[in-house]
Chains A and B, each alone.
Chain A
Amino acid sequence: MNGDDQALLPGTVAEREDELEHGLSVISPDEVPLLPGEERAHPSPFQYVIIFVILCVITALEIGLYYLEDDLPWSLIVGLLLVMALIKFVMVASWFMHLRTDKPIFRRFFIMGGVAAITLFTIVLTTFRVFD
């Protein structure tokens, strides 16, 4: 790695050596250079782990709900499962795909595709009476 590349690295030399030796939490995300299209710094590795744990808990709840099929009304189970899937979808898109820290143009494109898909296929499925 040449001198120019070294200058791009976040933190001080001592901080980087400490991080290499002990883990990922020494250098603040604010010190990491922004990628093209980013408005704010990405989350820290610790925040990523927290998001992952929340996603795992929601997935476990979804699986638990599947086994309550005989105890709860069908519409309630479907409603809860769809809400939990939506929460997981938004969390991955916002945190792991960085939509919350990137320029809004990416968010707009993605939402446009998602809304178009949901609208189009809801119309198709309604036409074929899938929801009756």
Chain B
Amino acid sequence: MAQATLPVPSGSQHDDHGHGHGHPETTTGTTNTKLAMWVFLSSECLFFGAFIATYLLYRGRSLKGPTPKDVYNIPFTSVTSFILLMSSLTMVLALAAIQRGDHRRFRVWLIATALFGLTFISGQIYEFTEFYREGLSLSTNTFGSSFFVLTGIHGMHVTVGIIWLLSLWGLSMQGKIEVQHSEKVEIAGLYWHFVDVVWIVIFTVVYLIPA
């Protein structure tokens, strides 16, 4: 069955060539906004790759402790990882809801995603505090420096995502997110899922793989 394509919101560039695509005529056949987000995410692979590589380079070269084995609390980090994974599910359910015009469920799933994100960040703050109490700070050793910078930058990305989600939720409460604005939600979702996939790598490489 041929499916319709959602038109872009008013104020955007419409396809007025009679092609019936419902989105701007571009050489790529998609909107520039979505393509720009994917290009940004592609560059973020290199950005996070640099910090992960730095961590791998420095984690076993500290001249004094604490070492990863001394401070990591795997059961606790596993719980926060599950929470971030769950937030990815609620994010796609929010997108599915707005595409179906179900505003009530959209808002519920969106606020749930933001709350899961907040729980993850709270867990990270707790973890950082515990590490500091055990004597690991940004300047203690090379492991501390590379660990706090890597996970801190990831946490900053999650925080930006939470602000973005809460902004969408606020707009939805004002009736400014309609079914034809689904692409805005999808783009926020792409960012959120990327933060999740980066955590999948960090959780394995930083926490689970023995030094």
| Interface members, chain A 68-123 (any B CB < 8 Å) | 69, 74, 77-78, 81-82, 84-85, 88-89, 92-93, 95-98, 103, 105-106, 109-110, 112-114, 116-118, 120-121
- Contact across chains for A48 and B96 when beta carbons are under 8 A apart: yes
In the assembled complex, B23 has its CB within 8 A of some CB on chain A: yes
Interface range for A: 35 or more
In the assembled complex, B11 has its CB within 8 A of some CB on chain A: no
Q: Mark A10-30, 1 if CB is under 8 A from B, else 0.
A: 110000100110001001001
Alpha-carbon separation in the docked complex, A37 to B208 (Å): 37
Contacts across chains A and B counted by CB atoms under 8 Å: 201
Query: Nearest chain A CB to B59's CB is how many angstroms away?
Result: 10
| Interface members, chain B 1-41 (any A CB < 8 Å) | 1, 3-8, 22-23, 28-31, 34-35, 38-39, 41
| Interface members, chain B 180-211 (any A CB < 8 Å) | 180, 182-183, 186, 189-190, 193-194, 196-197, 200-201, 203-205, 208-210
State the main secondary structure of chain B at its contact with A: helix
- Contact across chains for A35 and B101 when beta carbons are under 8 A apart: no
In the assembled complex, B132 has its CB within 8 A of some CB on chain A: no
Q: Which of chain A's residues has its CB closest to B202's CB?
A: A85
Ordered by A's residue number, 9 sampled pairs between the chains whose C-beta atoms are within 8 Å are: A20-B102, A24-B100, A24-B102, A35-B6, A45-B92, A89-B201, A96-B193, A113-B44, A124-B53
